[in-house]
Copies of this chain bind each other. A is one copy, B any other.
Amino acid sequence: MKKEITIYDLAEKLNISATTVSRGLQNHPAINKNTKKKIFDLAKELGYQSNKFASNLRKQKTHTIGVIVPRLNSLFMSSVLSGIEKVVNNAGYNLIISQSFEQEEKEKKNALTMFNNRVDALIVSLSYDSSDFSHFNNFINKEIPIIFFDRVTDSLPATKVVIDNFKAGYDATMHLIEQNCKSIMHITGNLTRNVYKDRYEGYRKALADRNIPFSEDLFITNDLSEQEIYNAVTHNILKRKQLPDGLFATNDSAAAYALMLFKEAGLRVPEDIAIVGFNNDFISKVTEPAITTINYPGNEMGENVARILINHLDGEGDLSVTSTVILNSELIVRGSSLKK
């Protein structure tokens, strides 16, 4: 292990104090231009790297932002992260990213890790079934800002960035109705999660607006895993005497998988059953037919989240003011729903 170069080494070599070196490196206005130059030059020459631990310890600030998301493996999530990272990096902050794998237990663990790592702020999209939020109390007590996106909760006093899931659900359903669907199923996740609840309510509202009675029978919630989608389609939908003629699935993977299973069972899409998904993941483009879906502005969402947070941290904005930001989403019509 080679020895580290510290500001003391620089100071000694330049015959000045460590104080001056420290200030010089931070571009402190009181330090002479020439001195600064000498410091920077030597620092570069020796490959000096500031020791963050010493700095953080002293400053009681880490310049690190924690992110907890359910999973990383979707186009949507990686777009969000990409947006967050861009903004946050430009502002000179670091990111620690972790996944809850959709489990409350893991989310709690991650939150604790973040807390121990003294993140300056936390960005969260909740796991599938988190219902107890006590793991965020640490942060709230210490007044460390938390900002939620997409999967949010109203139980905590925190800023939220979301799309209008109600409207998206409404649009998706209305589109199916306009394609002449009479019996529209909806497969979605746990209704305690805002995104699913809101989409569901949009679905109900669209039905109601067109006087189509809602039927419990056409509504399925599960954990959206491959297995559960399989079960829902083969053991439930395909076993019916009266098959539905429309399906609104709450994500594109589910829609794509259902589409495949329908075709395997000999159904025609969209003639026999029209399908709308959600997210505009790449997968929705390569099925046959391609899947009508809701485009979700991941990048924009990420950038918004990060920008609000940075403004707050830099003292230029106030999180408590902007309490909910709603972004636009849009229906993208493709073959899976176009009965023409």
Question: Are B286's CB and A259's CB within 8 A?
Answer: yes
A187 to B236, CA, bound (A): 41
Knowing A263-B288, A283-B286, the reply to whether A53 touches B56 (Cβ < 8 A) is: yes
Max chain B Cβ within 10 angstroms of own Cβ: one of A53, A141, A260: A53
Question: Are B118's CB and A53's CB within 8 A?
Answer: yes
Q: Which residues of B sit under 8 angstroms from A257, Cβ to Cβ?
A: 285-286
Question: Are B94's CB and A113's CB within 8 A?
Answer: yes
Q: Which residues of B sit under 8 angstroms from A53, Cβ to Cβ?
A: 52-54, 56-57, 62, 118
A240: CB under 8 A from chain B? no
Which 7 residue pairs of A and B lie closest in terms of their CB atoms, listed nearest first?
A: A73-B78, A53-B57, A256-B286, A72-B72, A288-B288, A53-B56, A53-B53
Knowing A117-B52, A117-B94, the reply to whether A282 touches B226 (Cβ < 8 A) is: yes
A96: CB under 8 A from chain B? yes
A210: CB under 8 A from chain B? no
A142: CB under 8 A from chain B? yes
Question: Are A143's CB and B2's CB within 8 A?
Answer: yes
Q: Which residues of B sit under 8 angstroms from A141, Cβ to Cβ?
A: 2
A-B contact pairs, 12 of them (CB 8 A): A2-B141, A50-B116, A52-B117, A53-B62, A82-B99, A85-B99, A97-B98, A253-B282, A257-B285, A260-B288, A260-B290, A287-B287
Within 8 A of B (CB), among A201-251: 226
A59 to chain B, nearest CB (A): 9
**Interface membership of chain A positions 254-281, coded 1 if the CB is closer than 8 angstroms to chain B and 0 otherwise:** 0011011001000000000000000000
Max chain B Cβ within 10 angstroms of own Cβ: one of A81, A285, A288: A288
Within 8 A of B (CB), among A76-121: 77-78, 81-82, 85, 89, 94-99, 101, 109, 113, 115-118
Q: Which residues of B sit under 8 angstroms from A85, Cβ to Cβ?
A: 98-99
Q: Which residues of B sit under 8 angstroms from A52, Cβ to Cβ?
A: 53, 116-118
Question: Are B56's CB and A142's CB within 8 A?
Answer: no
Question: Are A282's CB and B283's CB within 8 A?
Answer: yes
Q: Which residues of B sit under 8 angstroms from A143, Cβ to Cβ?
A: 1-2
A74: CB under 8 A from chain B? yes
A143 to B4, CA, bound (A): 12
A49: CB under 8 A from chain B? yes
Closest to A282 in B: B253
Q: Which residues of B sit under 8 angstroms from A113, Cβ to Cβ?
A: 94
A95 to B68, CA, bound (A): 13
Question: Are B99's CB and A49's CB within 8 A?
Answer: no
A88 to chain B, nearest CB (A): 11
A325: CB under 8 A from chain B? no
